[in-house]
């Protein structure tokens, strides 16, 4: 009976470790999006996370919400500086997220200022 309980507990622990390792390391997709950075804030009650939005259309009807991990200090500083400007962001999409990572499944890993295609020269 002890052997059965030990094996069962071992399998449960291994399953939990495998599941959380998968969530931590696996990405669903990677890509690039561009648009006007309309919002970037540090919010939350229990877990403070960095959240933002990019408007990808003229009317603001197509909004891309994203999160930034606390460890990406350079990305956070760049986004604070570029608010209200046209930007191009590289992101990774995860299968699921942890509450202390952010509200969305999209995480910005790199940001670059771009010229807006809507401005007439």
The pLDDT profile of the chain, 121 residues, written as one tens digit per residue, is: 889 999 999 999 999 999 988 888 888 999 999 999 999 999 888 889 999 999 987 766 789 999 999 889 999 999 999 998 999 999 999 988 888 888 899 999 999 998 877 766 5
Q: What is residue 11's predicted lDDT score, i.e. its pLDDT?
A: 95
Examine residue 119 and state whether it is found in any structural domain, yes or no: no
The shares of helix, strand and coil residues in the chain, as percent rounded to the nearest 5, are 25, 35, 35
Examine residue 94 and state whether it is found in any structural domain, yes or no: yes
Domain of 90, CATH number, reads 2.40.50.140
Examine residue 21 and state whether it is found in any structural domain, yes or no: no
Examine residue 68 and state whether it is found in any structural domain, yes or no: yes
H-run or E-run covering 36: strand 29-43
Cα–Cα distance for residue pair 111/102, rounded to 1 Å: 18
Cα–Cα distance for residue pair 81/88, rounded to 1 Å: 14
Q: What is residue 84's predicted lDDT score, i.e. its pLDDT?
A: 87
Q: What is residue 46's predicted lDDT score, i.e. its pLDDT?
A: 86
In the chain, the number of structural domains is 1
Examine residue 5 and state whether it is found in any structural domain, yes or no: no
Strand partners, 40: 52
Examine residue 8 and state whether it is found in any structural domain, yes or no: no
Cα–Cα distance for residue pair 36/53, rounded to 1 Å: 9
CA dihedral 26, 74, 99, 27 (to 10 degrees): -10
Q: What is residue 101's predicted lDDT score, i.e. its pLDDT?
A: 85
Examine residue 37 and state whether it is found in any structural domain, yes or no: yes
Q: What is residue 60's predicted lDDT score, i.e. its pLDDT?
A: 62
pTM above 0.95, yes or no: no
Examine residue 19 and state whether it is found in any structural domain, yes or no: no
What is residue 99's three-state secondary structure? Answer: coil
Largest pairwise CA distance in the chain = 79
State the residue range of the domain holding 46.
Answer: 27-113
């Amino acid at each position: 009976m002890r052997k059965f309980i030990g094996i069962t507990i071992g399998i449960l622990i291994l399953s939990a470790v495998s599941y959380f390792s998968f969530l931590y390391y696996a990405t669903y997709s990677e890509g690039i999006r561009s648009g006007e950075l309309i919002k970037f804030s540090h919010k939350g009650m229990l877990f403070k996370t960095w959240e933002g939005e990019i408007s990808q259309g003229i009317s603001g009807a197509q909004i891309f919400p994203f999160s930034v991990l606390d460890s990406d200090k350079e990305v956070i500083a760049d986004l604070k500086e570029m608010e209200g400007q046209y930007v191009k962001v590289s992101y990774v999409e995860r299968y699921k997220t942890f509450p202390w990572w952010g509200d969305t499944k999209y995480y910005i890993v790199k940001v670059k200022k771009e010229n807006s295609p809507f401005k007439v020269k």
